[in-house]
Structure 1
Amino acid sequence: MRLIFAGTPAVALPSLDAIAASGHELVAVVTRPDAPAGRGRRLVRSPAAAWADERGIEVLTPQRPREPEFQERLRALAPDCVPVVAYGALVPPSALEIPTHGWVNLHFSLLPAWRGAAPVQHAVLHGDAVTGASVFQLEAGLDTGPVFGTLTDEIRPTDTSGDLLERLAISGSQLLVAVLDAIDAGTARAEPQPADGISLAPKLTVEDAQVRWSEPAFAVDRRIRACTPAPGAWTSFRDERVKLGPVRPAGDAPELKPGDVLVERNRVLVGTATAPVVLGEVRAAGKKAMPAADWARGARVQTGERFA
C-alpha cells in the first residue's frame, strides 16, 4: 500500500523503521511544525521529521490538519492508508476520509482504557498490573474507533513511564505493520470498543508531578515513576523546586512524618503517610541529576529539614 505516516516524537520512530522495512511504500511523513527548544529557543525539527529528512522522504508540517493546502497535498499523494503514532493533533473528518482505508492509530493502552494523550503515564500512576497497545481506526471521537488488534505487557514494579513506553513503541510497531498487512490483504477486521471500562488519560501537568508526601509510600512511588521522564516529578526544598528520580522502599527505617528528611551515611530517607522511602537521584535547580546522598552532602541538608 501507499502510506503516509503521521507522528511526531521519538516514540514514533520504531514504527517508522518497521514500516520502512515492510513491503509498503512510504511516500510522506506528516508531523507537527518545528518547535522552539533549549535555552536558545531555536526551532527544532520533530524526531519524525528528522527521520524523514535523512531518508529524503517528503515532510508535511501543517499547523492544523484542517488546512485546505494540506488536504490538497494529501489528495495529490493518494495514500491508501495513514498509520498514526503520537501525531499530536486532532484530525478532522474531511482529512480522515481522504485515504482509501482511512487513518489507523497505534495507541499505547488496551482500549477503551486510558483514552487520551498520556495512557502510559496514567497506567503507571494508577497502579495497573497490565497494559498494552491497540491499533484502531481513527475517527472524530477521542480514541473511540473500532480496534483491529491488541497486545499486552506487564507493568513491572520499577517501570517508569519512559521504560514502559519504550517497550510498547517497539512491540507496537510490529502490531501496526501486521494490521497494515491485513488491511492490504483484505483480511483485517475491526471490532467496536466495549461500552464498559472506559477511562481517560489527559496529559499530566507540572502540578500533577508534584510529589504528595501525605500519600502512602506506594502512591509516592507510582507518581514519581509515572512522571519520569516527563513532566518530571518534583518537590519543594528551601523554597526551590527539586526534581526527583524514582524512589525505593526504605526497609528497616525509623518512623518519619510526611515530608521529613533523614540523612544517613549512604542514603536519604523521606517520610510518607506510611513508611519512609529512599530517594534515588535528585536534581536541584540549575544542576545535573546526582545520587541523593551526594546532593545532601553538597546542599548540607540537615536531618529534620522537610520537603514541602
Structure 2
Amino acid sequence: MRVVFAGTPEPALAALRAIVASRHELVAVVTRPDAPAGRGRKLVASPVAQYAEELGGIEILKPVKPNDPDFLARLTEIAPDCCPVVAYGGLLPQAALDIPVHGWVNLHFSVLPAWRGAAPVQHSIIAGDDVTGASTFRIVKALDAGPVFGVLTEPIGATDTSGDLLGRLAESGSKLLVDTLDGIEDGILQPQEQPADGVSLAPKINVEDAELDLTAPALRVDRLVRGCNPAPGAWTTFRGERLKVLAVRLTEDELKPGEISATKSSVSIGTGSKAVELLTVQPQGKKPMAAADWARGIRLTDEDRVGE
C-alpha cells in the first residue's frame, strides 16, 4: 500500500522505522510545524520530520491545522491508500479522514476503550494498573472511539516510569501497526467496534496535575512520580520554591506528611501512610541531582517541611 505516516514526537519513530522497513511504500509524512526549543527558542523540526529528512525523497507536510485547504488538496493529490498515525497531535477533520481508501489507522498506547486521550501511559501508571497495552484502530471524529483492528498487552512493572513503559510500547506497537497494515491490504482484517463498557479518559497531564499531595498514601505519591516522569515531572514545594521529584522509593519508615528525615546517604519525606525515600530531585533552576546531594547542599533544619 501507498501510505502517508502522521506523527510528531520521539515515540512515533519506532513505528515510522518499521513502516520504512515493511512492504508498504511510504510516500509522505505529516507532522506538526517546527516549534521553538532550547534557550535560544530557535525553531526546530519534530523528530518525525528530522527522520524523514534523513531518509530523503519523502515529502514532509507540516500544516498549521489539518483542515488547511492547501494541505487537504495536496493529500488528495498524493492519494494514499492508508494513513497510519502515531502521536500526531492534531485533530483530523472529516475531510481528511475521507481521503485514504482505508482511512487513518491510529496506534494508541492503551487497551481501548480504556484510557482514551492524549496521556494513556501516564494515566495507567497513576491509576495503579497492572497491565496496559496498545491498540490499532480506525480514526473517527469521536476521540479514540473508532473500531479496533488489533491489541497487544504489556505488564506495568513496580518501578516503571511513563518513559520506560512508553519506550516498550512504542517498539512492540510498531510491529502491531505494520501487521495491521498488512492485514488491511490482504483483506483479512476487519475492525471491531469498541465495547460500550470500560471507557476511561486520559487527558493531557499539565503541571498543576503533577503537584504531589503528601497527605495521600505513599503508593499514590509513588505512582504520580512515576507517571509524570519524564514529563511534566511531579513536584512539591520547599522553602517557597518548586522542587521536582523525579524518583522515589517506598519505605516502611514512619514520618508525618511533609516531614523530612535525612542521613548522609538518603532523604525521606512523610506521606499519608509510610514515608518515601527521595532518590532524584530537581531544584528550581538547576539540573536533576541525587536527593542526598541536594539535602547536603541546602543544610536542613528541624523546621523544614516539604510541601509548605
Bucket of the pairwise TM-score, normalised by the shorter protein: over 0.9
- The TM-score, its normalising length taken from structure 1, stands at 0.98
Show the counterpart of 2:267.
Answer: 268
Show the counterpart of 2:286.
Answer: 287
Is residue 34 from structure 1 mapped to residue 34 from structure 2 by the alignment? yes
Is residue 239 from structure 1 mapped to residue 240 from structure 2 by the alignment? yes
RMSD over aligned CA atoms reads 0.8
Are residues 304 and 265 of structure 1, via their aligned partners in 2, closer, same or farther at CA, if it must alter by over 3 Å? farther
Show the counterpart of 1:49.
Answer: 49
State the shift of 1:133 in Å.
0.2
CA distance in 2, matches of 1:120, 1:287: 27
State the shift of 1:301 in Å.
2.0
Show the counterpart of 1:17.
Answer: 17
Letter matched to residue 289 of structure 2: M
State the shift of 1:245 in Å.
1.3
Structure 2 unmatched runs, 5+: none
Show the counterpart of 1:204.
Answer: 205
The aligned length equals 306
CA distance in 1, matches of 2:258, 2:50: 43
Which secondary structure state, in structure 1, belongs to the residue aligned with residue 151 of structure 2?
A: strand
CA distance in 2, matches of 1:122, 1:304: 35
Deviations 1:110-131 (A, max 9, x none): 0000000000000000000100
Which secondary structure state, in structure 2, belongs to the residue aligned with residue 280 of structure 1?
A: strand
Q: Which moved more, 1:282-291 or 1:66-75?
A: 282-291
CA distance in 2, matches of 1:158, 1:170: 19
Which secondary structure state, in structure 1, belongs to the residue aligned with residue 209 of structure 2?
A: coil
- The answer as to whether partners of 2:264 and 2:296 remain within 8 angstroms in 1 is no
State the shift of 1:265 in Å.
2.2
- The answer as to whether partners of 1:261 and 1:304 remain within 8 angstroms in 2 is no
Which secondary structure state, in structure 2, belongs to the residue aligned with residue 117 of structure 1?
A: coil
- The answer as to whether partners of 2:248 and 2:277 remain within 8 angstroms in 1 is yes
Structure 1 runs (4+) deviating above 3 angstroms are none
Letter matched to residue 208 of structure 2: E
Show the counterpart of 2:180.
Answer: 179
Which secondary structure state, in structure 2, belongs to the residue aligned with residue 176 of structure 1?
A: helix
Show the counterpart of 2:276.
Answer: 277
Which secondary structure state, in structure 2, belongs to the residue aligned with residue 19 of structure 1?
A: helix
Deviations 1:272-297 (A, max 9, x none): 00000100101111211111111100
State the shift of 1:304 in Å.
4.1
State the shift of 1:136 in Å.
0.1
Which secondary structure state, in structure 2, belongs to the residue aligned with residue 245 of structure 1?
A: strand
- The answer as to whether partners of 1:263 and 1:303 remain within 8 angstroms in 2 is no
- The answer as to whether partners of 1:263 and 1:302 remain within 8 angstroms in 2 is no
Which secondary structure state, in structure 2, belongs to the residue aligned with residue 132 of structure 1?
A: strand
